[in-house]
Amino acid sequence: MLDYHLHLWPHSKRETPMVLDQLAAYCERAQEKGVVEIALTEHLHRFTQLDAVVGKFWEGAPNEAHLEASMASYFDHHVQADLDAYVELCLEAKRQGLPVVMGMEVDYYRGQMDGVSELLAQYPFDVLLGSIHWIGIWQFDDVDGQIAMDEWKTRDVDACWDAYTEALEELAATKSCDVLAHPDLVKVAGYRPGAPTEWWDRIAEAASTSNMAAEVSSAGWRKPANELYPAPGLLERFVAKGVPLTTASDAHRLEHVADRADDLHAILTAAGVTELQGYLERTPHAVQLRPAIGNDA
């Protein structure tokens, strides 16, 4: 198994020291859970270098002026870290022999992904996760934020899923990233359309045509959605289309590293999946899906 989605900070913290001991502890816990390799994938928007590229993209958003202050506050809280220091931490972990690959979780910035890609190309990343965390400037996945959750009560759920899927399709078409992170994150707050198959089809097609992998993540079980990402129906479509898969916990703290890796293993095995996709220097390679810990089969 892999855990290809890990963070240094909980969102509640502006910054924590970037120290090798934290990565070593992550690796130890992951290996206890049968995970052979981890990817450190901090949010790109945590780093001051991105600010010069995307700026205050939320300003002047059509029909969403009421959300500008919320987004501005979010970025003021988060944009604190230095990208060069992060890269050096990952490289030092590799030099120390830790089973770590260097990654980044990259949000979609409409019309600005060329600049984002130029920034990332300056560093020796192994894997880039592509994410949709906001629709327009609405942070739809902020389940602890009253402003974000109030929006769900006023918006049409089908329209939200459609807008999310359109953004994901646009992100995939840029070919700026390698893996679609938590591909049906739009369900995070528990709002689902009556018939999601249209959007599942489009998400699977976007992954397939862009040659991106898709992430199978336990994080959804820790959210109101109470379901892995992707939903079983979407996972079936990924497998049917031959979309490569990674596995992940999306942990922001040690106790969530490799969370429910055994459950992910069982689901993938039942779906006929025999290998995952790892990355080195943004080049994919196969990782065999080994028997789960405690399974003698």
pLDDT of residue 26: 97
Distance CA 244, CA 28 (A): 26
What's the pLDDT score for residue 200?
A: 98
Peptide bond into 99 cis (omega under 30): no
Q: Is 264 helix (H, G, I), strand (E, B) or coil?
A: helix
Does residue 296 lie within any of the structural domains? Answer: no
For the record, the structure tokens of 265 come out as: 């293993």
| H or E, element range at 287 | strand 283-288
CATH of the domain at 105: 3.20.20.140
Q: Is residue 254 part of a domain?
A: yes
Residue 175 in any domain: the answer is yes
Three-class DSSP category at 285: strand
pTM listed for this prediction = 0.96
**Paired tokens of 187:** 């369900």
293 falls within a domain: no
* Overall number of domains in the chain: 1
Please report whether residue 297 resides in a domain: no
- Domain annotation covers residue 55: yes
CA distances in angstroms from 129 to 75, 233, 291, listed in the order given: 20, 22, 26
Q: Does a structural domain hold residue 264?
A: yes
DSSP helix/strand/coil, 5? strand
Instruction: Determine the Cα–Cα distance for residues 179 and 100; give it in Å rounded to an integer.
Output: 17
* Segments in the chain below pLDDT 70: 292-297
Closest listed residue to residue 201, CA positions, set 241, 160, 159: 241
Structural domain range at position 18: 2-288
- pLDDT in the model for residue 295: 42
Q: Tell me, yes or no, whether 199 lies in a domain.
A: yes
